[in-house]
Amino acid sequence: MITLITVLLADDHAPFRSGLRAVLDTQDDIACVAETADGDQAVEQTVRLRPDVAVLDVRMPRRNGLAAARAILAMPGNRTRIVVLTTFDTDDYVREAVTAGARGFLLKSMPPEELIAAVRIAARGDVLIDPSVVRRNLTRFADALTPVETPADIARLTAREREVLHLLSGALSNPEIARRLHVGEQTIKTHVSSILRKLGLRDRTHAVAYAHISGFATNATLDR
């Protein structure tokens, strides 16, 4: 039996929103339960419908996507995960989205498969960050990171953990990393937990940012 992922779409540009729905409607395991044109409606519909994932455009009338995300995530008993859509000219909002606890960060120029992947990844509690968003916002991500001593902290990781961190920095999900390394998904979850603990990082989002900020993402020499 297929477990449906319910999705709310919020974007004030109706043709774009319809396009998002058309993409998601091609998937047997995803169901769009509502569309809204502003942040207030997004919050109201989330309270009413409790979707698994809310896809929010940053720039919307009445209440922007980040304010809506904060309101949704602050709801008692909330289980809705947030995916934020952004454009190249919304860099100032990315740090706010990280702080708010969004589970996905995508550019609106994304290919359709990235939206589908982001919804599935967010629904299971993981994070998908568009790599170009990370590269454009390294200093903003740095501000949100738990302080670390030096990039030499990477030396605390085992060879396999460094390999997992490198793949995380490329926005791969746990199942994708597991397939790449030919191990089980639970093994990858264990490695990710160990990486976070050893580096003193809060979550996967910060691990990805740390990998880029430290230069590990581009300069890593991995043991083979």
Q: Which CATH class is domain 5-139?
A: alpha beta
Residue spans of beta strands (DSSP E) within the chain: 5-10, 30-36, 53-57, 81-86, 104-107, 128-129
pLDDT tens digits, residue range 10-63? 999 999 999 999 999 999 999 999 999 999 999 999 999 999 999 999 989 999
Q: Is the pLDDT of residue 222 over 70?
A: no
CA distances from 203 to 17, 159, 189, 208 (A): 30, 20, 12, 9
Instruction: Identify the architecture of domain 145-218 in CATH.
Output: Orthogonal Bundle (1.10)
Confidence of residue 138 (pLDDT cuts 50, 70, 90): low
Confidence of residue 148 (pLDDT cuts 50, 70, 90): very low
pLDDT at residue 61, rounded to an integer: 92
CA distances from 174 to 38, 125, 171, 197 (A): 33, 11, 10, 17
Listed by start position, the domains of the chain span 5-139, 145-218
* Low-confidence winner among 123-127, 136-140, 149-153, 220-224 (lowest mean pLDDT): 149-153
* Low-confidence winner among 27-31, 84-88, 93-97 (lowest mean pLDDT): 93-97
The more confidently predicted of residues 141 and 176 is 176
Average of per-residue pLDDT across 134-151:
52
